[in-house]
Amino acid sequence: MHSDQRAPIALKIAAGAGLLFLHLPILLIFVYAFTTEERSYQWPPPGLTTKWLAVTWNRPDIWEALALSVKVASISTLIALLLGTLCAAAVSRSKFFGREAISLMVILPIALPGIVTGIALRSAFNLADIPFSTWTIILGHATFCVVVVYNNAVARFRRSSASLIEASMDLGADGFQTLRYVVLPNIATALLAGGMLAFALSFDEVIVTTFTAGQQQTLPIWMLEELVRPRQRPVTNVVAMVVVLVTFLPILGAFYLTRDGDQIAGSGK
Amino acid sequence: MSTALQFAGVSRHYGAVKALDQVDLEVKEGEFFAMLGPSGSGKTTCLRLVAGFEQPTAGHIEIFGETAEGVPPFRRNVNTVFQDYALFPHLNVLDNVAYGLMIRGVEKSERYRSAEQALELVALSGLGKRRAGELSGGQRQRVALARALVNKPRVLLLDEPLGALDLKLREQMQEELKNLHRQLGITFIFVTHDQNEALSMADRVALFKDGRVVQVGTPQEIYRQPNSRFVADFVGSSNVLPPDFVAAVGGASRWASLRPESIYLTREGGHAASVVAASFLGGSTRLAVDVSGLRINLMLPSAAEIPAVGESVRIDWKPADMHLMESGA
């Protein structure tokens, strides 16, 4: 009995320590966003100020980087949603020669180290004489965004009964109505989760971006460059803090959405 | 009665596989028609051709006198109850049932009223707000039925609808399906691999084997006058007698079917046999005997005395009960 009671307490402490280890550094980032020391990260902060919020707000380079990141992430996610879903539907719904190979080839970019993908794309763009631009970044990001959407969609397709589509047709719905009233509602939460994950992956991507970007700076690249400059360091922290807050909410939303969605989809069996 | 469904030389091939091969069939309007056969015999393919999920490789299909080839499922006045029910998991029971009406643009209150009525028909009123996943297998089956029937189809297709239910529920549903059929007066086409189900429910049965229809007839015809060894075997386990044996006992030199319950024990005459096995089944006793090297099964009424294994007995049957068949296949 004695040891039975002590073990959970030790476990609780260990678990708590683990969580602290994971999340304290993020809190530190927040604290440094308000420090009065702008050249180095000094602990404890010599004083607290909110002036960096205003400084950040007035820096046009940040807005440019943010706009580029949002644009790149949005378009790559859209491409991924379209191609990933179509590919998932093909792989899970029909049998054709080379199906397994295609399935593997779609997933491969996420298994490859980003640096390999980056170098490969860079040399390919060079060979094809494609100038580096926002679109080359988007293409690079789409390679791994497609995988995330594909994985989510394929899992949902496999779990839902193939005869649902036939049942819909049988009840008088044509192809478009079946897509609208049966297929999309059934995969909606999977697409939302896949899309959000794809967006988040693209939004903080550094490695592939460095190889596929020209002069453009996405937000993570901007942060990386900002870190090596000695002045106005807390600005980086303000940006980091805002990014955390802004991305945390949708991800929390996606988590709850797919949790409910899983219950709905699982209940069909 | 007019013709609901006409198959003329219909084939469905998948590459070299002949799922359905040169099938001729006619189903009358208002008939309860069973398609019976082992798995892979083509009966489900046949059903899918009627529903419109498949197109024939060759031949001609007519539904109520209209050509069916090229007509998509959503333009056929035919509805299906799927083997796995295929209820929409994102909709509740009422919306599932109302789906067909929603697609046709029936106004909301009107379609919910019809859906409630359909649920009432299958004894599920009041469950409309549940999700399909919260229902038992038997209830889901009923929802699938209601969802098909609410569209007032002229033909209802049922693809092994009772396969996933346990025995008690299955017998109950058989009864209810028969009642529904009587009540609605529409054509039911029922696919099953269970010969008892086919015999007890259908007005007529088509027996499938290897993509072909081997016999069509009423359950009595199929049972009493099987036209081939396969039918005799598949529909109730019959004794299939080879031509030389039939000739030796006074028939023509043809294959014959002899039902176990047509055979009785006798003291004189008949044929000498020795008992190989006996099993008491409650309502009856199944006896296996050896007649000059041929194993024959017979059913004895339970009141009869059970002979011991190894005992010598004499068996006999009325000549009319020995049914000569067209083929030994």
Using one digit for the tens of pLDDT, what is the confidence trace for A44-67? 777 788 888 888 888 888 899 999
Give me the percent of chain A exceeding a pLDDT of 70.
91
Interchain contact A189–B (C-beta under 8 A): no
Q: How does pLDDT run across B271-284, given as a tens digit for each residue?
A: 889 999 988 888 88
Reported ipTM: the value is 0.83
For residues B227 and B218, give the distance between their C-alpha atoms in angstroms, rounded to a whole number: 13
Q: How far is B88 from chain A (nearest CA, A)?
A: 7
Judgement on whether residues B69 and B191 belong to the same structural domain of the protein: yes
Q: Indicate whether B75 belongs to any domain.
A: yes
Q: Is B39 helix (H, G, I), strand (E, B) or coil?
A: coil
CB B283 within 8 A of CB B247: no
CATH superfamily, with its number, for domain A59-258: MetI-like (1.10.3720.10)
Distance from CA of A190 to the nearest CA of B (A): 13
Quickly state the pLDDT bin for A269 (edges 50, 70, 90).
Answer: very low
The domain that contains B289 carries what CATH number? 2.40.50.140
pLDDT for A197 beyond 70: yes
Q: Is the pLDDT of residue A268 over 50?
A: no
Q: What percentage of residues in chain A have a pLDDT greater than 90? A: 33
Residue B329 belongs to some domain of the structure: no
Cα A113–Cα A115–Cα A120 angle in degrees, nearest 5: 105
Domain ranges of chain A: 59-258
The whole-number average pLDDT for the span B161-167 is 84
Q: Return the residue in A93, A170, A180, A257 with the most chain B beta carbons within 10 A, the one to mutate for interface testing.
A: A170
Q: A172 and B100: CB-CB below 8 Å?
A: yes
Residues B197 and B276 in one domain: no
pTM for the whole thing? 0.78
Query: B134: which 2 tokens?
Result: 């919260």
Tell me the three state secondary structure of residue B322. coil
The alpha-carbon gap from A74 to the nearest alpha carbon of chain B, in Å, equals 28
Q: Do B74 and A161 touch (CB under 8 A)?
A: no
* CB-count burial class (<10 Å; 0-12, 13-18, 19+) for A105: exposed
Domain count, chain B: 2
- Domain hosting B244: range is 239-324
Mean of the per-residue pLDDT values of chain B: 90
Both B193 and B251 in a single domain? Answer: no
Helices H, strands E: what count in chain B? 9, 18
Question: Is B255 found in the same domain as B213?
Answer: no
A185 vs B92: CA distance, rounded Å: 13
Q: Determine whether the interchain pair B103/A177 forms a contact, defined as Cβ–Cβ distance below 8 Å.
A: yes
A116-126 burial code (b ≥16 CB/10 A, e <16)? ebbebbbeebe
Q: Which residues of B touch A171 (CB under 8 A)?
A: 74, 79, 99-100, 103, 147-148, 151
List, for residues B79-101, the tens digit of each pLDDT value: 999 998 999 999 999 999 999 99
Extract the tokens encoding A172.
Answer: 């008088």
- Choosing from B198, B231, B264, the residue where a domain stops is B231
Question: Contact, B61 vs B7, CB < 8 A?
Answer: yes
A161 touches chain B (CB under 8 A): yes
B329: pLDDT confidence band, cut at 50, 70 and 90? low
Q: What angle do CA B149, B151, B154 make, to 5 degrees?
A: 75
CA dist B159 and B78 (Å) reads 13
Give me the CATH number covering residue B14. Answer: 3.40.50.300
Do B95 and B195 fall within a single domain?
yes
